[in-house]
Amino acid sequence: MNKIDINTKLNEIPFIKIISELAKREGVKIYLVGGFVRDLILNRQRNDIDILVIGNGPDFAEKSAKELEVNNLVLYKNFGTAHFTFDDYDVEFVGARKESYDRKSRNPVVENGTFEDDINRRDFTINTIAISINDEDFGLVIDRFNGIQDIKDKIIRTPIDPLITFNDDPLRILRAFRFASQLQFEVHDSVMIAANQLRERLKIISQERITDELLKILESSKPSVGLKLLFISGVLEIIFPEIHQLAGVEQRKDYHHKDVFFHTCEVVDNVSSKTDNIWLRFAALVHDIAKPNTKKFIDGIGWTFHGHEEIGARMIKNIFKKYKLPFHKIEYVEKLVRLHLRPIALASEEVTDSAIRRLIVQAGDKLDDLITLCRADITSKNIQKVEKYLENYDLVMRRVKEVEEKDKLRSFQSPVRGDEIMKVCNIPPGKKVGLIKADIEEAILDGLIPNTYEAAFEYLLKIKNKYLNSDI
Ligand code: ATP
Ligand code: MG
């Protein structure tokens, strides 16, 4: 991108000229930096802008806010940063700083610094490019570490020895892989070697930050890029050992199973090509998580992973706890892991309505996501096989539609509620109410009675004495 293009782009941003003039009046220098500049060179539009102030960042932000008449300024004086929104733009100001690190923490000692100090502390060459928005050289691109060439070559490398970069702040290891995954860039060999050598240092990083980077990898258009870098560098073993353990193939006699890690990478990519739903992508990542624990070799049959879907589902809660993931997503991921083999088991014309009904009720409003996962789980290289498997899912979904139309099941709820059961049977809340309710639901799912209030009520009258007379 040449200077004219850059100036045109900058002039499209409504406030840049205004703060440029303000900076001139105030006698401070300001520059665009960070992801905004990187993405401008990549011709990618983005609305969050980092502004480097040579001087006091929050002070200049306050003056800019006044000038632009924005009243949503937030100051982080301790960090020397400030933020406001203007039109559709998120604007972040940061004062130039110099950082020095000690070994125990990723939080450096920070002092005010020059433009050079600030650029030198940045993590990757592609993140060191700055654009002046000062009157005298407006639009000038300052590229001390050949970041533009590295963007062209699609490569992530550090401006200084990566061993120092990563030793100072090991989070940068994950940032390298995350940028590679987001931008579909390669990672320089020296970065891989340093990441491998210093991976244990990631233990000083808080789980929240690690998880944040991992989720950003999962959000990227082809997450396998980041996942494989994590694996190859040995970093995955430190930050997500349960996924690392999926790797490897064992052979016995003529049987070998496929490498579950690389299969998982494919499944995650397949899901990601269909949906941005991060939790569906996460479910893909963990769907086979219990395969190592359930692996068994059976003579004459080969490798089996019996029950891995149920055992995997039971591992999800601890995974969420350990990796500080949002608890309200546990049930969703559990359900997808638990049911991921179910639809294929139902792929036959002979399967009964009631088996289909059970799937509909158990999957509930997650059924479409479940089928997306199941389809993504087909990673055979044999095109005929893939087509046949996909057709099987079409068949299951056709049956689902038929049964749903028959009994409007997707949001299944027992037609007779608990309080009505208590009234009719004249019993207090307790175990019996639950048993009677479950009995009615089973009768509907088995197709014994239709899914209507009248039928369910009549059925209640028929079965109630059996429960009332027993001493459960
Ligand atoms: P994105 O916003 O797309 O995640 P970004 O490059 O803007 O990417 P940010 O985390 O927003 O990344 O940080 C802005 C800039 O600050 C980066 O481009 C980089 O120059 C610098 N930076 C951020 N975090 C670090 C770090 N841990 N070590 C060194 N420099 C960093
Ligand atoms: Mg940013």
Q: What is the pLDDT of residue 324?
A: 98
Q: Does ligand 1 come within 6 angstroms of the Cβ of 169? A: yes
Average pLDDT of the segment spanning 66-71? 95
pLDDT (mean) for 169-190: 97
Percent of the chain with pLDDT over 90: 71
Measured from the CB, is residue 170 less than 6 Å from ligand 1? no
Q: How far apart are CA 292 and CA 251, in angstroms?
A: 14
What is the pLDDT at residue 280? 98
Predicted confidence band of residue 451 (pLDDT cuts 50, 70, 90): confident
Structure tokens at 56: 């006091």
pLDDT at 354 over 70: yes
Q: Which among 41, 39, 30, 32 has a CA at the least distance from the CA of 6?
A: 41
Confidence of residue 106 (pLDDT cuts 50, 70, 90): confident
The whole-angstrom separation of Cα 127 and Cα 143 is: 10
pLDDT average, residue stretch 340-347: 90
Query: What is the mean predicted confidence (pLDDT) over 88-115?
Result: 88
For ligand 1, whether the C-beta of 176 sits within 6 Å is no
pLDDT tens by residue, 278-305: 999 999 999 999 998 898 888 888 878 8
Task: Confirm or reject: Cβ of 369 under 6 Å from ligand 1.
Answer: no
Q: Report the separation in Å between the CA atom of 35 and the middle of ligand 2, taken as the mean of its atom positions.
A: 5
Q: Which two tokens stand for residue 130?
A: 């700055």
Whole-number Å distance, alpha carbon 90 to ligand 2 midpoint, is 10
Average pLDDT over residues 313-337: 98
User: How far apart (Å, rounded) are the C-alpha atoms in residues 110 and 99?
Assistant: 5
Is the CB of residue 127 below 6 angstroms from any atom belonging to ligand 1? yes
Compute the average pLDDT of residues 136-145.
96
Residue nearest to atom 16 of ligand 1 (CA): 34
* pLDDT over threshold 80, residue 15: yes
147 lines ligand 1 (CB under 6 A): no
Beta-bridge mates of residue 141: 131
* 8 Å CB contact between 185 and 155: yes
* Residue-level pLDDT at 404: 83
- Report percent pLDDT > 70 for the chain: 97
Residue 69 Rama label (left phi>0; alpha psi -120 to 50; beta): left
Of the residues 52, 110, 123, which should be mutated to test ligand 1's pocket, given the most ligand atoms within 8 Å of the CB?
123
Beta bridge partners of residue 297, listed in sequence order: 303
E strand or H helix that includes residue 148: helix 147-152
Q: Find the 251 Cα to ligand 2 centroid distance in Å.
A: 46
Give, using CA atoms, the residue closest to atom 13 of ligand 1.
Answer: 34
Tell me what pLDDT residue 412 has. Answer: 67
What pLDDT, in 10s, does the model give residues 413-434? 777 888 899 999 999 998 899 8
pLDDT at residue 371 is higher than 70: yes
Taking the CA of 220 as reference, the closest ligand is: 1
Distance 317 CA to ligand 1 centre (A): 32
Q: What is the pLDDT of residue 441?
A: 86
How many angstroms is it from 243 CA to the middle of ligand 2?
A: 28
For position 417, what pLDDT does the model report?
87
Residue-level pLDDT at 409: 61
Three-state SS across 96-132?
A: CEEEECCCCCCCCEEEECCHHHHHHCCCCHHHCCEEE
Q: Quick one: pLDDT at residue 450?
A: 85
90 has a pLDDT exceeding 70:
yes
Give all domains of the chain, ordered by start, each with its CATH number: 3-151 (3.30.460.10), 154-239 (1.10.110.30), 276-407 (no CATH), 418-468 (no CATH)
34 Cα to the center of ligand 2, angstroms: 6
Model pLDDT for residues 186-225, shown as the tens digit of each residue: 999 999 999 999 999 999 999 999 999 999 999 999 999 9
Stretch 356-379: mean pLDDT: 93
